[in-house]
Structure 1
Amino acid sequence: MKRRILGGTGISVSEYALGAMMFGAWGNADPHGSVRMIHQALDAGINVVDTADVYSMGESEEIVGKALKGRRDDVVLATKGSSSMGGDPNHSGNSRRWLTRAVENSLRRLDTDHIDLYQVHRPDADTDIDETLSVLSDLVRAGKVRVIGHSTFPAEQIVEAQWTAERRGHIRFRTEQPPYSILARGVEAAVLPTAQRYGLGVLTWGPLSAGWLSGKYARPTDINLTEGSGRAALERHKFDPSVPGNARKLEALGELTKLADEAGLKLPHLAIAFVRAHPAVTSVIIGPRTSEHLEDLLASVNVELSTDVLDRIDEIVPPGTDLNRNDFYYTPPALIEASRRRR
Structure 2
Amino acid sequence: MEYRNLGRTGVRVAPLALGTDNILNPTPEAEARKMILRALEAGINLIDTSNSYMQGEAERVIGLTLKESGLRDQVLIATKAHYPTGPGPNDRGNSRLHLMRACEDSLRRLQTDYIDLYQLHRPVFDMPIDETLSALTDLVRQGKVRYIGSSTAPAWKVLEGILVSELKGYVRFVSEQPPYNLLDRRIENELVPMAQAYNLAILPWSPLAMGMLAGRYADEELRPEGSRASLRGGIYAERVSPRAVQMGNRFVKLAREAGYDPAQLAILWVKDQPGITAPIIGPKSLEQLQHLLPVLDMTLPEDIRAACDRLVPPGSAVANFHNSAPWMKMQLEVG
Question: 1:277 maps to what in 2?
Answer: 272
Which residue identity lines up with residue 80 of structure 1 in the other structure? Answer: K
Query: What is the DSSP-based 3-state SS (H/G/I as helix, E as strand, rest coil) of the residue aligned with 1:108?
Result: helix
| Cα deviation digits, residues 73-132 of structure 1 (max 9, x gap) | 000111000111122221110000000000000000000000000000000123211110
Q: Aligned equivalents of 1:230 and 1:325: distance in 2?
A: 17
| Cα deviation digits, residues 27-51 of structure 1 (max 9, x gap) | 21x2122111100111111111110
Structure 1 window deviating more from structure 2 (189-198 vs 227-236): it is 227-236
- Alignment of 1:177 with 2:177, yes or no, is yes
Which residue identity lines up with residue 289 of structure 1 in the other structure? Answer: K
Q: CA deviation at 1:299?
A: 2.5
Structure 1 window deviating more from structure 2 (105-114 vs 190-199): it is 190-199
Q: CA deviation at 1:223?
A: 3.4
Structure 1 window deviating more from structure 2 (229-238 vs 206-215): it is 229-238
Question: 2:333 maps to what in 1?
Answer: none
Query: What is the DSSP-based 3-state SS (H/G/I as helix, E as strand, rest coil) of the residue aligned with 2:279?
Result: strand
Q: CA deviation at 1:173?
A: 0.7
Mark the CA change 1:71 to 1:21 in structure 2 (over 3 Å): closer, same or farther.
same
Query: What is the DSSP-based 3-state SS (H/G/I as helix, E as strand, rest coil) of the residue aligned with 1:329?
Result: coil
> Is 1:117–1:146's contact at 8 Å kept on the other side of the alignment?
yes
Mark the CA change 1:221 to 1:40 in structure 2 (over 3 Å): closer, same or farther.
same
> Is 1:152–1:328's contact at 8 Å kept on the other side of the alignment?
no
- Specify every segment of 5 or more residues in structure 2 that has no aligned partner in the other structure, as ranges: 331-335
Which residue identity lines up with residue 101 of structure 2 in the other structure? Answer: R
Structure 1 window deviating more from structure 2 (189-198 vs 208-217): it is 208-217
The residue correspondences of 1:9-88 to structure 2 (distance < 5 A) are: 9-24=9-24, 26-28=25-27, 30-69=28-67, 70-88=70-88
Question: 1:331 maps to what in 2?
Answer: 326
Query: What is the DSSP-based 3-state SS (H/G/I as helix, E as strand, rest coil) of the residue aligned with 1:175?
Result: strand
Which residue identity lines up with residue 286 of structure 2 in the other structure? Answer: S
2:255 to 257, 260, 275: 260
Per the normalisation by structure 1, the TM-score is: 0.90
| Cα deviation digits, residues 170-220 of structure 1 (max 9, x gap) | 111111111110011110111111111111111111100122122212322
> Is 2:184–2:321's contact at 8 Å kept on the other side of the alignment?
no
Q: CA deviation at 1:133?
A: 0.4
Q: Aligned equivalents of 2:46 and 2:19: distance in 1?
A: 9
> Is 2:204–2:279's contact at 8 Å kept on the other side of the alignment?
yes
| Count of residues in Structure 1 that have an aligned counterpart in Structure 2 | 328
Question: 2:188 maps to what in 1?
Answer: 188
Question: 2:89 maps to what in 1?
Answer: 89
Per the normalisation by structure 2, the TM-score is: 0.93
Question: 2:134 maps to what in 1?
Answer: 134
Mark the CA change 1:334 to 1:313 in structure 2 (over 3 Å): closer, same or farther.
closer
> Is 1:180–1:205's contact at 8 Å kept on the other side of the alignment?
yes
Q: Aligned equivalents of 1:47 and 1:9: distance in 2?
A: 15
> Is 2:239–2:323's contact at 8 Å kept on the other side of the alignment?
no
Mark the CA change 1:300 to 1:164 in structure 2 (over 3 Å): closer, same or farther.
same
Q: Aligned equivalents of 1:324 and 1:219: distance in 2?
A: 14
Question: 1:340 maps to what in 2?
Answer: none
> Is 1:225–1:236's contact at 8 Å kept on the other side of the alignment?
no
> Is 1:216–1:222's contact at 8 Å kept on the other side of the alignment?
no
Q: Aligned equivalents of 1:151 and 1:89: distance in 2?
A: 22
- Specify every segment of 5 or more residues in structure 1 that has no aligned partner in the other structure, as ranges: 241-245, 336-343
Q: CA deviation at 1:300?
A: 2.5
Which residue identity lines up with residue 189 of structure 2 in the other structure? Answer: A
Structure 1 window deviating more from structure 2 (314-323 vs 142-151): it is 314-323
Query: What is the DSSP-based 3-state SS (H/G/I as helix, E as strand, rest coil) of the residue aligned with 2:7?
Result: coil
> Is 1:206–1:286's contact at 8 Å kept on the other side of the alignment?
yes
Q: Aligned equivalents of 2:268 and 2:228: distance in 1?
A: 27
Which residue identity lines up with residue 76 of structure 2 in the other structure? Answer: V
The Cα RMSD (Å) is 2.0
Q: Aligned equivalents of 1:202 and 1:45: distance in 2?
A: 19
Structure 1 window deviating more from structure 2 (56-65 vs 318-327): it is 318-327
Q: Aligned equivalents of 1:79 and 1:251: distance in 2?
A: 34
Q: Aligned equivalents of 2:183 and 2:227: distance in 1?
A: 22
Q: Aligned equivalents of 1:230 and 1:121: distance in 2?
A: 24
Q: Aligned equivalents of 2:119 and 2:306: distance in 1?
A: 34
Structure 1 window deviating more from structure 2 (172-181 vs 228-237): it is 228-237
Question: 2:289 maps to what in 1?
Answer: 294
Query: What is the DSSP-based 3-state SS (H/G/I as helix, E as strand, rest coil) of the residue aligned with 1:119?
Result: strand
Q: CA deviation at 1:265?
A: 0.4
Question: 1:162 maps to what in 2?
Answer: 162
Query: What is the DSSP-based 3-state SS (H/G/I as helix, E as strand, rest coil) of the residue aligned with 2:60?
Result: helix
* Aligned residues with identical type, % of pairs: 42
Q: Aligned equivalents of 1:169 and 1:32: distance in 2?
A: 44
Q: Aligned equivalents of 2:154 and 2:148: distance in 1?
A: 17
Q: Aligned equivalents of 1:327 and 1:143: distance in 2?
A: 33
Q: Aligned equivalents of 1:271 and 1:154: distance in 2?
A: 24
